[in-house]
Amino acid sequence: MTFEFKYGVFNMLVHADVAEMTGDNKEWGPPVTMHLKRKLKEPPSFTKEDVNFRNGNVHITGTLVKPLTPGPHAAIVVIPGSGPQGRQTYHYRFWGEFFARHEIIALIFDKRGVGGSSGNYEQAGFDDFAADVLAAVQLLKTRKDIDRKHIGLFGISQGGWTARLAASRSKDITFLILNAGPAVTVEEQELDRIQNTLQANKFSEQDIAEALAYARLEFDAAYTGKSLGELQSAGKTARDKKWYEYVQYDNSEKELAGWRLTRFDPAPSLRKMSSPVLAIFGEQDPLVPPIHNADKMKQYLSEAGNKDVTIRIIAGADHSMEVRQILKGKKWEFPEKYWVWAKKPTIFYETIINWLSAHLGSAQE
């Protein structure tokens, strides 16, 4: 088929199996190639309302993303992952719009110290982050357009730790979705990250062992203070190692304080979790590998007596829940053989929506 674009007329091939089109315009020199991907039309199906709430002396700015249909609606607090994430971070902001399009009011917010929020996330621990989330829940409870019987949390990566801690401290949270949220400790998760990243980059077993030993020394120094001198000595030689750039080079008291501040074991909070839980893991996630997290998640929630637990592993997905790009064909011969770029598989989104539909029922209508 032909496709007329501002750069001319392109001869296109339709690849129905992946809903994409490829083609070229040979009249240009060199020829112009085009790769089109199908994207669902996004009609205006939500509105936004800026809100503010407080956790003690920390002022937090947020946005309610709301369906156009009359409420009251179920609501969900979207909890960001690590780093300076807020309402301007696309992969975080996206979830507010996603839930609103499916008839759920979503609260997204600037993490403390980010955007319009006061405070400093680098000087906060999980108790602080959980208290921020609980303050958000209190805000939701005051609103007439929200069904107070259906208020949940959506925790992304590090936000999964925060979500379960907050949920264990509030009876107002009635469901929990964990997106690549670890079931292991912060220390175990960091060791998984180092080992899997080094293996993916073809490091030797000796290199991996050295890097892990150095990381364990860091944690010991941070948590107990007993091996600080040994760590500082080891750090002098670590700079010359090939694996150096893959570890957190923290060997001063100030740097190690960050590890102490964010020390966390999710087991106690998971053992208190009675609300319905959906936990999603990426099969190829090097940071939160299912092999170390899925069974622990199931075990801890079972010990809580929780009968409503759904654990899903998305085939081929990484930590961002994206399936890696592949070459369609053994050799690049555009347009017949081309790259299918990394994307989140449809099953990931369907898993979330189907689970919510089953658990919220009329709350979404």
**Per-position DSSP letters for 289-345, written without gaps between them:** -HHHHHHHHHHHHHHTT---EEEEEETTB-TTS-BPPEEEEEEEETTTEEEE--B--
The runs of H, that is alpha helices, within 201-227 are 205-224
**Residues 153, 219: one domain?**
no
Nearest 10 degrees: Cα torsion 189, 191, 193, 197:
-160
User: What per-residue confidence (pLDDT) applies to 365?
Assistant: 42
User: What per-residue confidence (pLDDT) applies to 212?
Assistant: 96
**Per-position DSSP letters for 105-136, written without gaps between them:** EEEEEPPTTSTT--S-GGG--HHHHHHHHHHH
Asked if residues 353 and 175 have their Cβ atoms less than 8 Å apart, the reply is: no
CA distance 205 to 197: 12
**Residues 18, 110: one domain?**
no
Tally of domains in the chain: 3
User: What per-residue confidence (pLDDT) applies to 207?
Assistant: 96
User: What per-residue confidence (pLDDT) applies to 337?
Assistant: 74
From the centroid of its chain, how far is CA 99? 15
Domain membership of residue 21 as a residue range: 2-37
**Residues 341, 242: one domain?**
no
**Residues 297, 325: one domain?**
yes
| Residue 277: strand pairing partners | 176, 309
The pLDDT tens digits of the residues spanning 218-272 come to 999 999 888 788 888 888 888 899 999 999 876 677 778 889 999 999 999 999 9
**Residues 168, 191: one domain?**
no
User: What per-residue confidence (pLDDT) applies to 361?
Assistant: 75
Encoded amino acid at 106, one letter? A
**Position 343 confidence tier, pLDDT thresholds 50, 70, 90:** confident
**Position 7 confidence tier, pLDDT thresholds 50, 70, 90:** low
CA distance 249 to 255: 9
**Residues 314, 326: one domain?**
yes
**Position 5 confidence tier, pLDDT thresholds 50, 70, 90:** low
**Residues 70, 214: one domain?**
no
CA distance 25 to 7: 8
Greater model confidence, 250 or 189: 189
The pLDDT tens digits of the residues spanning 42-100 come to 666 799 999 999 999 999 999 999 999 988 999 999 999 999 999 999 999 999 999 99
Residue of 279, 284, 308 lying closest to 295 (CA atoms) = 279
User: What per-residue confidence (pLDDT) applies to 364?
Assistant: 47
Last residue in a domain, options 211, 231, 261 = 261
**Residues 52, 125: one domain?**
yes
**Residues 213, 304: one domain?**
no
Domain of 73, CATH number, reads 3.40.50.1820
**Residues 69, 151: one domain?**
yes
The mean predicted confidence, pLDDT, of the chain is 91
Tell whether the torsion through CA atoms of 269, 94, 57 and 134 is positive or negative: negative
Highest mean pLDDT: which range of 220-224, 306-310, 334-338? 306-310
The pLDDT tens digits of the residues spanning 97-153 come to 999 999 999 999 999 999 999 999 999 999 999 999 999 999 999 999 999 999 999
**Residues 358, 284: one domain?**
yes
Last residue in a domain, options 261, 286, 307 = 261
Asked if residues 134 and 169 have their Cβ atoms less than 8 Å apart, the reply is: yes
| Residue 344: strand pairing partners | none
Last residue in a domain, options 261, 296, 320 = 261
Asked if residues 144 and 105 have their Cβ atoms less than 8 Å apart, the reply is: no
CA distance 86 to 115: 7
**Residues 232, 322: one domain?**
no
